[in-house]
């Protein structure tokens, strides 16, 4: 079931249940299209997470089914992917949500004197 552009703007965090790998892939694709090998390297550089190739393809398929990314014409044997408008909106909502949780966590740590 694809996610429409409106879902992201409506404030529904559709990425809450897709898993960390999918979120990292969307963040990596946010600055331009990439294929699998480039995604693995970029995610390792930006988050220190080594995505296994099996995990990568599972997450790519899921994000594509949700309409959050789309494949571009194959470059040799490699299929680059790009983030779609609903994907960008969903990522923004998810990052806002993480920011709120992060801020609340930091505030509580200060309040608790830890």
**3-class secondary structure per residue, 79-91:** CCEEECHHHHHHH
9, 78, 92, 108: residue in contact with another protein (rule CB under 8 A): 78
Does residue 52 bind another protein (CB under 8 A)?
A: yes
Shortest Å, Cβ 72 to another protein? 13
Place of tokens 């969307």: 26
Residues in contact with another protein, counted by CB under 8 A, come to a total of 15
Q: How near is the Cβ of 108 to another protein at its closest, in Å? A: 36
Helix%, strand%, coil% for the chain, nearest 5: 60, 10, 35
* Structure tokens given for 87: 């994907």
What span, in angstroms and rounded, lies between the C-alpha atoms of 113 and 42?
37
Does residue 70 bind another protein (CB under 8 A)?
no
User: Is 35 or 94 the residue whose CB approaches another protein more closely?
Assistant: 35
- Applying CB under 8 A, which residues contact another protein? 35-37, 40, 50, 52-55, 57-58, 61, 77-79
């Amino acid at each position: 079931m694809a996610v429409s552009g409106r879902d992201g703007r409506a404030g529904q965090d559709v990425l809450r249940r897709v898993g960390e790998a999918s979120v990292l892939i969307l963040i990596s694709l946010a600055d331009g299209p990439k294929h699998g090998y480039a995604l693995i390297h970029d995610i390792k550089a930006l988050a220190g997470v080594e995505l296994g190739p099996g995990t990568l393809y599972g997450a790519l398929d899921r994000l594509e089914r949700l309409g959050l990314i789309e494949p571009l014409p194959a470059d040799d044997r490699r299929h680059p992917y790009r983030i779609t408008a609903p994907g960008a909106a969903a990522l923004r909502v998810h990052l806002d949500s993480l920011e709120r949780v992060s801020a609340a966590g930091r505030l509580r740590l200060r309040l608790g004197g830890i």
